[in-house]
Structure 1
Amino acid sequence: MSLDTIPVDLRRLRACLACSLIKSFEQFLRDGCDNCEEFLRMRKDSDNVYLYTSKSFTGMAAMMQPSESWVGKWLRIGVCCPGMYALSVAGSLPREKMRQMRRLGLFCGNRDRSQ
């Protein structure tokens, strides 16, 4: 596991709207999302970081061994990379991105549990 995925500071944290991975704004800008970069292309694109992440999320769960993690199964992220994940993320991806993800067979559920 790369420690670059783990947030090093609690300021400016954001959660990916697709997979709920938590990183700082700078980490998303520098590295993109470790799970969704191929699809969301956040690396070096601050507009996409703002569009596909949310600063409003609740709870954090660490997932270190995805294939053996009950947390991964519970959050439906068992195939994602190790890291810190939000339990709930306010907001959603644009509808067209959600349609594209469904066509590709990628999980695209609403991670907003605030209601």
Structure 2
Amino acid sequence: MVRPHAQEAVLCACAARAGKMALETVPKDLRHLRACLLCSLVKTIDQFEYDGCDNCDAYLQMKGNRDMVYDCTSSSFDGIIAMMSSEDSWVSKWQRIGNFKPGVYAVSVTGRLPQGIIRELKSRGVVYKSRDTAIKT
């Protein structure tokens, strides 16, 4: 069993070595993690509130809005992937994160965006597909 601090150190070391992933994107703590319901990016709740979602902030506006962070992220997710170079990664294509920024992503995220947000996304031409692999959409 790897200790939580050791896992955090490994994630940060991998990101720094790659030189492609901003350290702001890597979760700063292994507690209070949440995953974006639109893109599955994993960060701490404070990181989402302070920086928003690196991929979705144009649509979800979580930056500075804790209520939106709670509505648009989930604390219930399975597995994590550290994606540093989407063009070289078959996993990023399989997980549908190939066009996203380098970062740590959940394999499956439990939950759905609120209906009002889904309607807003649709009106802006963004197709919402649940990141929950336990259900088929």
Measured against the shorter chain, the TM-score band is: over 0.9
Of residues 111, 115, 119, the one that matches 1:91 is 111
**Which residue of 52, 55, 59 corresponds with 1:39?**
59
Instruction: Please tell me the root mean square deviation across aligned C-alpha atoms, in Å.
Output: 1.3
The aligned counterpart of 1:81 is: 101
Are residue 27 (structure 1) and residue 47 (structure 2) matched? yes
1:63 aligns with 2:62: no
User: Which consecutive residues of structure 2, in runs of 5 or more, have no partner in the other structure?
Assistant: 1-20
Q: 1:107 to 1:60 in 2, by over 3 A?
A: farther
Cα deviation, residue 107, structure 1: 4.3
Question: What is the percent sequence identity of the aligned residues?
Answer: 50
The aligned residue for residue 54 of structure 1 is 74
Question: Does 1:16 pair with 2:36?
Answer: yes
CA deviations 1:20-45 (Å, max 9, x no partner) are: 00000010011000000111000111
| CA distance in 2 between partners of 1:49 and 1:99 (Å) | 18
The Cα shift of 1:102 comes to 3.3
Aligned-pair CA distance for 1:103: 3.8
1:6 matched to 2:26: yes
* Distance in 1 (alpha carbons) for counterparts of 2:105 and 2:120: 23
Structure with the greater alpha carbon radius of gyration: 2
TM-score, length-scaled by structure 2: 0.78
The residue that corresponds to 1:111 in the other structure is 131
How far off its partner does 1:108 sit?
A: 1.7
Taking structure 1 as the reference length, what is the TM-score of the superposition? 0.92
1-side partners of 2:26 and 2:75: how far apart?
16
The number of residue pairs the alignment matches comes to 115
Runs of at least 4 residues of structure 1 off by over 4 A? none
Which structure 1 residue ranges, 5 or more long, are not aligned?
none
